[in-house]
Structure formats: C-alpha cells, structure tokens
Amino acid sequence: MLKKHKIYICFEPIPKNYGEKYLNDIDKLANLIKKLKTPWFGINFDTSIYHFNKFNKNNFLNNQKIIKNIQISEKKFSFFTHPSKFNLLFAQLLKKNKFVRRISLEIISKNTDLKKLSISLKNFKQLFN
C-alpha cells in the first residue's frame, strides 16, 4: 500500500530533554529502519536532536539514504528569527554535500506573531533555498 500510494512513514529521533525515552538516537533508529528493509520507512531528521547533543556529521551523511525529510527547528521550537550557530553550520553542510531533501521549518508557539513568522520564513528561505 505504501508503494502504491508513494507514502513514506518517517520516524523522528527526539531529544531526551523533551521527555523521549526510546527514539532519541539517530544511529539506533537508522539500524532499526535498515532492518525493516523497505524504502518506504525513513527518518524525519529534526535538528532539535542536536540542540542538546553533539552533532556527528558522519552519522548524518552515512544515513542520508534513509533520511526522507529534514525538519529545522530552534531550541524549544522558538521562532527562526536568530538561527542558532548549529542551524547555520547545518545549512552549509547541506549545500556543500548537495544534500537535497524535503526541508521544513518547525515552530511551536502559543501566540501567533506574524512579524516573527515573516522574519523566520525569510531566514529559512535564505539558508535553505
């Protein structure tokens, strides 16, 4: 059914700091997905995993075949008005390695702030377009 409708099921490693107890390590998740042996399961790679842990560039690049989506987020999912140093470096890594995938921006806010949203989208477009 996944193949017929071209549907991907993506699993996302989430930092322990946000309360996740199981899927918080990209290597363990990648090993699990590889054991499933289907191209329709993949990883939603959220940069929030590295706001608390050191980024391992090789782990990311070695698993790029199973990363189906990249989700950019700031610490605590705040607006993208002042992108973190990590997200700036991550954008350079993607461009340098011509790593093209679906890339989305994740912002979680209790209040709608159109000015901050506009700045966030402009920054996102500049970095990842």
Task: Summarize pLDDT for 36-49 with one digit per residue, the tens.
Answer: 988 999 999 988 87
Rounded CA separation 105/98 (Å): 19
Label residue 91 by pLDDT band (50, 70, 90). very high
Instruction: Report the pLDDT value the prediction gives residue 100, as an integer from 0 to 100.
Output: 67
Q: Which CATH class is domain 2-128?
A: alpha beta
Per the model's pLDDT, the better-predicted residue between 80 and 47 turns out to be: 80
Task: Summarize pLDDT for 22-35 with one digit per residue, the tens.
Answer: 787 788 889 999 99
Whether 51 shows a pLDDT value over 90: the answer reads no
Which residues, other chains included, contact 57 with Cβ-Cβ below 8 Å and sequence gap of 6+?
A: 93
